[in-house]
Structure 1
């Protein structure tokens, strides 16, 4: 009898020990997390299945497995057909969403998505390159825009990139610190603004591209 590989054992432990006991019940997310090799989306030598963020460099992080799972579940709640992931990092969350059958565009500020793990394990995902705060209107409109990381506020320009009834799923930071408490929200456009409904509280790191410039006072 063939023994499972260590990484396969670790992957199942991640799902059964971290994800399923913590309010993740969407079977699409659970099934995808059992299959996708998270270690391929992490730097060499990283503890890919630990309950922690993993540094990618440049102030960017691969979200902890639980936070990625809960965001994916929130994004998939209405069975979106068109999804944009802003700040896709190494592509793990985009790959999870694509495994559920959505058409996914993954936006980054550099071209690594086109040659990394995302291209290998989720080639159906469209990798786009451009400034994160601008979104990616060329691929829209989207049923869901997922911001993979915390932001001080959801950019108003994302309103025009949503399909009717579309949402933005994001983590809104409670303060200006690079890492701290925040709240995951599902936000719908009302006019030119967003009305956000809190989904759950979490700790997350603010995406560098969205950090507010320091304010000086006399």
Structure 2
């Protein structure tokens, strides 16, 4: 029987703390959220590996390092409302819910929505999982203090920008080539600023790539 508790502690010590994630709230959240419950049963041996875990074709849980660093960059407060875009099976939603007041997990895949709802129902009370287009966001609960994107993007859709409240932060890995950069976008006085935080390469989120133009 695997000792998942020991694996969680080791994950935090070797993948989170050693990568300059100093926020103890993030460390503590990742020590207690059972990551193994959010991956397919056949992949539970990979749950605490230092890598993204594919949960369905083309959809992944972020690797622990990137998830924790993005959460730290977002500067989450206990009163914040978060939109977790591309939440997949809900692991990121569960972690963020231990840092914020309310988290809306947004997923467009119906099967993943059902898995996330069932799993999160066992762990968290301040979350809801909704089904809809990732690029359109979720207007019903806007504005958000934080929008968290679980994957690489080439652009930030106008719909997501408009759902950020004043002083709201959007965090994502912006990637135009092989290497991406984790960025924090801040909405202030109606304008959006952007800051680069660290290098990272994640799989692209569905719908977040620019249309390809053919040159003849």
Same fold per superposition (TM over 0.5): yes
SS in 2 for 1:171: strand
CA contact (8 A) 2:39 2:47 kept: yes
SS in 1 for 2:170: strand
Please list, as runs of the form range in 1=range in 2, the aligned pairs for 1:145-164 lying within 5 A after superposition: 145-164=147-166
Deviation at 1:123, TM superposition (A): 3.7
The question of 1:212 aligning with 2:210 is answered: yes
> Equivalents in 2 of 1:44, 1:10: separation in Å?
16
CA contact (8 A) 1:72 1:93 kept: no
> Equivalents in 1 of 2:203, 2:176: separation in Å?
11
CA contact (8 A) 1:159 1:193 kept: no
> Equivalents in 2 of 1:5, 1:44: separation in Å?
13
The alpha-carbon distance between structure 1 residues 17 and 154, as it changes in their structure 2 partners (threshold 3 A), is same
Q: Which residue is equivalent to 1:103?
A: 102
SS in 2 for 1:120: coil
Please list, as runs of the form range in 1=range in 2, the aligned pairs for 1:76-95 lying within 5 A after superposition: 76-77=75-76, 81-95=80-94
The alpha-carbon distance between structure 1 residues 77 and 124, as it changes in their structure 2 partners (threshold 3 A), is closer
Segments of 4+ in structure 1 off by > 6 A?
none
- The count of residues paired between Structure 1 and Structure 2 equals 211
> Equivalents in 2 of 1:9, 1:55: separation in Å?
23
CA contact (8 A) 1:18 1:66 kept: yes
User: For the aligned residues, what is the CA RMSD?
Assistant: 2.0
> Equivalents in 2 of 1:80, 1:186: separation in Å?
19
Q: Which residue is equivalent to 1:66?
A: 65
Question: 1:140-194 CA deviation, whole Å, 9 max, x = no partner?
Answer: 111111111110011122222111111211111132xxxx421111112367763
Gap runs ≥5 in structure 2 = none
Question: 1:110-134 CA deviation, whole Å, 9 max, x = no partner?
Answer: 3333433223222421111100000
Gap runs ≥5 in structure 1 = none
Deviation at 1:79, TM superposition (A): 5.1
SS in 2 for 1:20: helix
Please list, as runs of the form range in 1=range in 2, the aligned pairs for 1:1-218 lying within 5 A after superposition: 6-46=3-43, 47-77=46-76, 81-111=80-110, 112-114=112-114, 115-175=117-177, 180-189=178-187, 194-218=192-216
TM-score, normalised relative to structure 1: 0.89
